[in-house]
Amino acid sequence: MKKPINEDLEAFSRIKLPQSVLQPIRCDMCSKPLPKRHIIHKNICQEPPEHKFCSKECKDKWCAQHTK
């Protein structure tokens, strides 16, 4: 005996995906999804203490923007 299609769809919708699949981590400067190799800038005096960037250029632009 087959299950109704509605039950199969409900079971599929209960699957939980990791946060990185639902909303990928993004660059703090340009908001592009981060590649596997990305740049992390840590400064414990800032809130949040860790910033992530897709490239060195984005990190440099971000730093220049925040030093003014």
| 32 falls within a domain | yes
41-50 burial, b at 16+ Cβ within 10 Å, e below that, comes to eeeeeeeeee
Looking at residue 47, its pLDDT comes to 87
Domain count of the chain? Answer: 1
| 6 falls within a domain | no
C-alpha span between 68 and 60 (Å, rounded): 13
Omega prior to 24 cis, within 30 of 0 = no
Looking at residue 45, its pLDDT comes to 87
| 12 falls within a domain | no
**pLDDT mean for each 10 residues of the chain (68 residues):** 62 65 84 92 88 95 87
Nearest to 28 by CA among 18, 43, 15: 43
C-alpha span between 28 and 36 (Å, rounded): 15
| 56 falls within a domain | yes
The pTM score is: 0.64
| 52 falls within a domain | yes
